[in-house]
Structure 1
């Protein structure tokens, strides 16, 4: 049996879960009031604060660090890498501390390392604590590879991982092109959940993810539609910066000239302009709410504006799925819908009516990030796939 601690840092909370193999044996959400986080200038500075709260939560739940085999955190805004499970070595740790953008997910790998180090310092039921070799945050470090590890409960190593960060980039060359040489299309999407549900669908079919062509649509506060060809996401809309379908909180792709005119109008500051794309776009701007459940309730009660906005969002998702089908040359084994909006039967039905001619449509509502993190660690612990190293995989552009 392998015991894995999963960590998912969010802007106002840190979710943790302990798994014995696939069985969840502990789940805790630690809330962080805004006034507490306001004391920190940068996200990375919150690491020790959140680590101590996690240690307290685990102690209260009765779980000792000496029982762990691995710690896995959500990946952050590092430079682009291929999908997979990454060992948090010195190179990746430095990248997470100096990321390409500020986001709570940057803490995932940092916290994983700090808790692996704490596991190293914990009393051992099988003998004394070995003397550490100083590395990042006091974790034991292999001088040959920079690997940050600790001694686990059976004398093995407690390793720190991240899995499928949002910057997973498996684009083929043509997917990177835009119509201007100074603007390249970027791969930023819900990689963790998309890859997890794609593997789930393949398993349900008795197939390997690497043998299938799938279109996966993550339907949440942001929407991403990915073309998965034999285990690689070869094209996907940028769900962070404003590309593809509009979403509850995202404006999606906008007519370029009209957008440029709005930006140059002087009505908005740069920060406000950014928020128009992500945070206050989509349903938030059209209906005054980013809560799709509220929008659906209004539509059901006869609000025509709400009904049209939801229908337009479904229409744009379906159109993006059609584009992904073209990328796969029509060779599509299934269309997979996931995320919170996949709970909305009317929304799913509207999409399905437009795209079912392409392939069967299957739904996996919600997003199970903790099991996805767990599975990434277990694939390495069980020898199904090797842990990747950031320095070997980073795309330098």
Structure 2
């Protein structure tokens, strides 16, 4: 969705390497093979950023953006205490609109994501494919079992640092041309995945990375950017905040319907009717937002991505969005608790990542409740 990527930016974690294949004890060999082949092809397409900058065949726009990327990469280390390693020092021109395509699924009366289990990463609520047709086929298989499904293109993904020995995760053509603020925040998000990772806890991992991107991009804009870039980002952030509020309230309404213990909700017909009403209200409220945005001069191309998300919204897409959103206030509170000190903040997150999930969730709930 370019700079209008709702409140989440999917970051598939595909350990597509020989080590992942050797460690795998679940899933099909075909899936691991497409992951390994797709990731290795991506790495082979990548060349060092200085080579791209020096090449006479590189356009002036791409050269300027790669120079910006180098500055943001250094800023991530010096200002945000993010890893100083091989990742994002190379660039790959992919010739397609997404790096991978993610499949997510949820039950017709549930906001709990269906999960797949992988080596190292544990059980996660999405499955990534380098070929969109393969993703659509998996979605169709899941839909045939009665699940609601969503397939979306992913501009970037993280291998959690496991690819650094192969040259690291590269910058990609799928997001290189995004507006400055959106580009920089995605870079920070992906690097955060290399700092702390809790196997099997998608919500923890994505909310942490989202908190890092939001805090980090604001500092970047304040210290390193232009008034024009800040204004562009702030306009987009206002729209995102409005959309997040709308989707959050809709998720809460759906959750109430699905978890209701009232006698009326014990039949299938009643919850189905209430769900339909909630979705109709969601789309009507979105239409009102959309009208205001367009009247204020928001380009229709930016709104188009939102339109598609709303049109296809279901339990799966709402549940996936929640993974990138729900714990962000808790991580923001943790950042404040640690004195806005980035190394201390990351260290505290690592401690939480190693804790049992029940203990981790309790700590995050307490942080979210802080005034």
The alignment's TM-score, normalised by the length of structure 2, stands at: 0.26
Structure with the bigger percentage of helix: 2
Structure with the bigger percentage of strand: 1
Structure with the greater relative contact order (CA < 8 A, sep ≥ 6): 1 or 2?
2
Question: Which of structures 1 and 2 has the bigger CA Rg?
Answer: 1
